[in-house]
Amino acid sequence: MKLSMRHVITIQKNRFRQLKKNLRGLKKTALRNRKLISNEWWDSEFYIDSSLEDRKTIFNSCDAAAAAYHYASIELLISKYFFEQKISADGLKVLDIGSGSGHWLDFYESLGFGNMVGVDVSEKSIEHLRSKYKEDREKTFYKGTAKNYLMGRNDKFDVINAIGVMFHIVDDREWLETIKLFADHLTEDGVIVIGGFFGALNNIDVQFGADGSVNKRLRSAKNWKEKLSENGLKDIKLVKNVTSLEIDHVLPENNLIFARFSA
């Protein structure tokens, strides 16, 4: 496909934006502000409106059409993967980590999944989800971290979905524990779907709260692949989201990793 000059410029502009953000992050990481966000940060500083909608899970003033574009670009890649892997939704269970406004619950429902658990540390998110799905008996919600939810349970999920969440688990130990818990709670044929950065740079802090505490830490593709394989995941596929670069709007890192125990 031949791209127009405008397209090429937009793609390069987005690449430059990401690079600038990462370089700024590198500098700040070198200075190492070790204070990390608390779980309360999401309700006190991030979800500042009383209402929640998809675009506000990106940032409060995010353009609605650009947000829809971001979600659609990820949906394309997940749909393609599920189609190619012949994953049929029949009777399968989904665990959605960091559900926010519930976009990914709606998406998996559109693929035919019914049985779902949504987990989020934000009270506002969980309140919103409980009200949005109040008639739906197949969806349940838990307020807390992924780690808190999974620790001590022994049930398993066929899909563990965490889009735009894992880079917000800034504490390295908790991040590692969460990956292990994902592996422990994944069925033999299940799939883990992670949305995020996965570039060359590792452990760079790129976003900070009002008091300077770190709220986003990017980990490299290499680090992700290592940690997933250490936990038994062998079929690991990294997919770059190229479509999302074609819109001139600041969007979160939205590449994908799909991980399964065997091919």
Contact residues toward ligand SAM (CB under 6 A) are: 42, 57, 97-98, 100, 103-104, 119-122, 125, 145-146, 163-165, 168-169
Residue with tokens 């830490």: 217
Question: Is the Cβ of residue 33 or residue 60 nearer to ligand SAM in the bound state?
Answer: 60
Question: Is the Cβ of residue 4 or residue 46 nearer to ligand SAM in the bound state?
Answer: 46
Shortest Cβ 167–ligand SAM spacing (Å):
9
Shortest Cβ 186–ligand SAM spacing (Å):
17
103-110 helix and 64-84 helix, angle to the nearest 10 degrees = 40
Shortest Cβ 25–ligand SAM spacing (Å):
17
Shortest Cβ 166–ligand SAM spacing (Å):
8
Question: Is the Cβ of residue 164 or residue 190 nearer to ligand SAM in the bound state?
Answer: 164
Question: Is the Cβ of residue 78 or residue 121 nearer to ligand SAM in the bound state?
Answer: 121
Shortest Cβ 57–ligand SAM spacing (Å):
4
Question: Is the Cβ of residue 25 or residue 100 nearer to ligand SAM in the bound state?
Answer: 100
